[in-house]
Structure 1
Amino acid sequence: MREARCTCGELKVEVSDEPKLVLMCHCEECQRRTGAPFGVSAYFDQNDVRVSGTSSKYERTSDTGLAVTQHFCPTCGSTLYWRAAFVPDFIGVATGCFSDPDFPAPQRSVYERSKHEWVTAPHSAACFETTSI
């Protein structure tokens, strides 16, 4: 069992299994969402995820043309998890919200076309210019 939470602790996600996929994303939307040069996401089967607390949400259209709904804490503003229409059976969770230095490393690095020059993906990660899905 792992728990991710927002900065203030009002919004939490508990997962009962290991992630099906961990990836680092360099798309401009993830750069804006995180305020960093990339985001790291862990995707879990929706049946393995339990959310507690109330979230605010923001829906945007991805470059696939399908919706991504980001859920964030209405108090502290931390983005904790999201649902993407192009992977309807999975929930993505921001790996930093687990605060676990032993969390699995990214298996994929996506949207490398907008990656900052100085960022290096793990050597074992498969790299893609756009999405890998």
Structure 2
Amino acid sequence: MDWQSAVTGGIVYTGRHLASLEGEMAEGLRRDAVLAVNLTGTFDVTRLSIPFLRQSGSGVIINMSSVGGRFGYPNRSPYATTKRGLLGLTETLALELGGAGIRGDAIASGAVDVERIQTGTAKQGRDHRTQCWKRPPPTP
């Protein structure tokens, strides 16, 4: 597999990450899909990219984690597990590849307190304030 196919194949989103460890997702294919896309897919794309980065003499590997991987989210056990795994992978890559001029970084984004999040969490019977970063005040 060439690197363009590997990278293109790694940019996927299943949208199937809302479940607790006791829920239906923890059993079977939906759980496996989250693990495959979020963790295994990133691992494989990164593995295939490293020879090209080494050849160039420098580079940056940026993984998309989540605040869910850092702090956890209720009812998102499989998702939070994969995003925590990405943080560990990123830290390890930075240690292993730093000497070759290759950096490892992770973006740990999270929900922002906006109407769409407020509406979605209310429909699920959750308090959006426990799930979001506070929206910064408008710039004057």
Pick the structure with more strand per residue: 1
- Provide the TM-score with structure 1 as the length reference: 0.26
- Provide the TM-score with structure 2 as the length reference: 0.25
User: Higher relative contact order by CA 8 Å / sep ≥ 6: 1 or 2?
Assistant: 1
Pick the structure with more helix per residue: 2
Q: Which has the larger radius of gyration?
A: 2
